[in-house]
Amino acid sequence: MMNSKTFKTLAGPALILALLTLVALLARPLTPIDETRYVSVAWEMWLKDEYLVLFKNGETYSHKPPLLFWLYNLGWAVFGVNEWWPRLVSPLFSLGGLLLTLSIARRLWPSAPGSHRNAVWILGASLLWLVFSTSAMFDVMLAFFVLVGMRGLLIAADGSMKRGFAWLAFAIGLGVLAKGPVILLHLLPAAVLAPWWAGGLPGGLGWKRWYGGILMAVLGGAGIALAWAIPAAIHGGEEYRNAIFWGQTANRMVDSFAHKRPFWWYLPLLPLLLFPWLVWSGLWARFVALGREGLDRGLRFCLAWMLPVFIAFSLISGKQIHYLVPLFPAFALFSGHLLGRGSGGGLLWLPALLSALAGAVMVYFALAGLPGALGIWGELPWWPGGLLLVAAMAAFRFGRAEKMQVPVLAVLGACLFALVQFYIAPGAARSYDMHPMARAIKALQEQGMPVANLGRYHAQFQFAGRLEQPLAQLGPDDLGPWLERNPQGAVVAYVSRKRQLPESLFSQPYRGETAVLMSTGQARSQAELFDGRRGRKLMVPRDGEE
């Protein structure tokens, strides 16, 4: 049971998480291509009653492990198939992450309640953490298992090696089932660097036993993951077996060194991803004070957790911002303890000013109609920007009291995230809601008409329409033969909004383009749109990241 002290510490950040989850449910649909793809994979798991081998649009899907899809299906088994349950899984893991962060803070600094409180506020209101805590994706779930593993390392370092390494093995196994072997990159550096951050082991325990325990935990975690992977490989066939055992490891590592982004790419993004904390002078003052105060055991542990992994992700050229999500608890613990060791000082003028500027820009764009004129979002409401201006002024006013600065900054960051979502909600409803097109496709399939997708298909319509048949995926060279074979079929294609729309059965905005659903006859009558270089450039949608 959660005691009253824990409840009091978590109440504020947990309330922010609950309100922002509600905002996400109200303000935006499941967003293509990632959220819609993952929920569609879970839908096909449900439809096929197949829980070992994953499918997307009727074909085996090896890009992700099964845990998230199992959890979606578990909720559907209890509540029925719905859209809201998949959108609650990440917030639940986020709440668990806050609780584990508090537990780790208490182990690292048992006599520093201020550090404990600061850590959960900082994590619970960091912008990137909020974004993925309210998204139907894998990253906060992965962060949860990283936290489980880190807590296990601390238990082992305090002398309970069997129990600690058992938790580490559990974290590795479930982390692999959550998002693959990347869990090892997050956990092993801190484990290997234990002599630096732990100093010594109690009770005469030696480091040889420590590293033996790490090896056993890795093997135990591998055993948990293989309990799914081996039956899935047997059941899924050779291609699926090669994909899950080889494609998820070596091939992805090779692709990651494809020189896509420079090593410094993350650095200029950190003030935004960690807003509002990295733009607050009070925290920077505490960073500067490290030179004279030094690093204690807990701060060393956080650095051993953060720095090697951040450096590794910086050196890997294939960068995505969500790769950093499991590092945010370490940042929160590190920064929370720095603030707990002494006053950072400084007013909240810069976070408040930046928030006020964002609010002013939102109001200006809404009243001037600029985005609508450019065809970006359509009409925008002015009131979210106005409320953000009020929130910024309130933060500057109430943040003058030193004890209120961390909670006030957290509320300001949450207000920014919530109000931006309401601001873009009209455009998101038009461009990212897959239900209208999905319903149109579903109606044709129920009439027995085959439907194809021109270009790479990410299954964005499968769950939204509860489609029971896959869409044929066509390249420009495949279209003509498919039309010949399916004279009563239909094709989904994608057209730049700057071009005149072809005659179609249905159309809707789609991620900066327009999705059009055409009958075979309509597609034939406009064959020039599909043939040659012009057609290839015009009609094939953009690819997305897996």
Per-residue pLDDT of the chain (546 residues; tens, 9 = 90+): 578 888 899 999 999 999 999 999 999 999 988 999 999 999 999 999 999 999 999 999 988 999 999 999 999 999 999 999 999 999 999 999 999 999 999 999 999 999 999 999 999 999 999 999 999 999 999 999 999 999 999 999 998 999 999 999 999 999 999 999 999 999 999 999 999 999 888 876 789 999 999 999 999 999 999 999 999 999 988 888 888 877 655 545 544 554 478 889 999 999 999 999 999 999 998 898 888 888 999 999 999 999 999 999 999 888 899 999 999 999 999 999 999 887 666 779 999 999 999 999 999 988 887 655 445 556 789 999 999 999 999 999 898 888 899 999 999 999 999 999 999 888 777 788 999 999 999 999 999 999 999 988 999 999 999 999 999 998 878 888 888 899 899 999 888 776 777 788 998 888 878 899 999 888 887 766 655 433 444 344 444 545
Cis peptide before 234 (omega within 30 of 0): no
**Token reading at 334:** 């590190």
Q: How far apart are CA 308 and CA 490, in angstroms?
A: 51
Which residue in the block uniquely carries the two structure tokens 């499918």?
55
Q: Where are the domains of the chain?
A: 4-30+62-341, 349-430, 435-539
* 179-192 burial: b if 16+ Cβ within 10 Å, else e: bbbbbbbbbbbbbe
Q: Under DSSP, is residue 253 helix (H, G, I), strand (E, B) or coil?
A: helix
User: HSE (CB half, 13 Å, CA atoms) of 412?
Assistant: 34
Chain centroid to CA 217: how far? 27
Q: How far apart are CA 101 and CA 144, in angstroms?
A: 9
Q: How far apart are CA 381 and CA 372, in angstroms?
A: 11
CB neighbours (10 Å) of residue 20? 24
**Token reading at 281:** 């002078």
Q: How many residues does the chain have?
A: 546
Chain centroid to CA 16: how far? 18
Q: How far apart are CA 176 and CA 217, in angstroms?
A: 13
Q: Under DSSP, is residue 194 helix (H, G, I), strand (E, B) or coil?
A: helix
What pLDDT, on the 0 to 100 scale, is given for residue 538?
38
Q: How far apart are CA 58 and CA 429, in angstroms?
A: 28
SS percent in the chain: helix, strand, coil, step 5:
70, 5, 25
Nearest to 403 by CA among 349, 345, 443: 345
What pLDDT, on the 0 to 100 scale, is given for residue 528?
63
Nearest to 100 by CA among 63, 154, 46: 154
Q: How far apart are CA 275 and CA 19, in angstroms?
A: 18
Which residue in the block uniquely carries the two structure tokens 């410094």?
264
User: HSE (CB half, 13 Å, CA atoms) of 261?
Assistant: 14
Nearest to 108 by CA among 96, 95, 119: 119
345 near 139, Cβ under 8 Å?
no
Phi and psi based region of residue 199 (left: phi greater than 0; alpha: psi -120 to 50; beta: remaining): left
For the stretch 100-103, contacts whose Cβ atoms lie closer than 8 Å and that sit 24 or more positions apart, written own/partner, are 100/144, 100/147, 100/148, 100/151, 100/329, 101/147, 101/329, 101/332, 101/333, 102/6, 102/9, 102/10, 103/151
Task: Read off the pTM.
Answer: 0.92
DSSP state at residue 65: -
Q: Which helix (H) or strand (E) holds 45?
A: helix 34-48
Lay out the sheet containing 506-510: strands in order across. Answer: 472-474, 451-454, 490-496, 513-519, 506-510
83 near 118, Cβ under 8 Å?
no
Q: How far apart are CA 379 and CA 381, in angstroms?
A: 7
**φ, ψ for residue 355, nearest 5 deg:** -65, -40
Angle at Cα 66 formed by Cα 321 and Cα 189, nearest 5°?
50
CB neighbours (10 Å) of residue 84? 10
412 near 391, Cβ under 8 Å?
yes
Please report, for residues 37, 334, 542, the alpha-carbon distance to residue 464 in angstroms, rounded to integers and kept in the order given. 10, 42, 20
E strands in 148-198: none
Which residue in the block uniquely carries the two structure tokens 């732990």?
198
Q: How far apart are CA 515 and CA 492, in angstroms?
A: 7
Nearest to 358 by CA among 319, 322, 392: 392
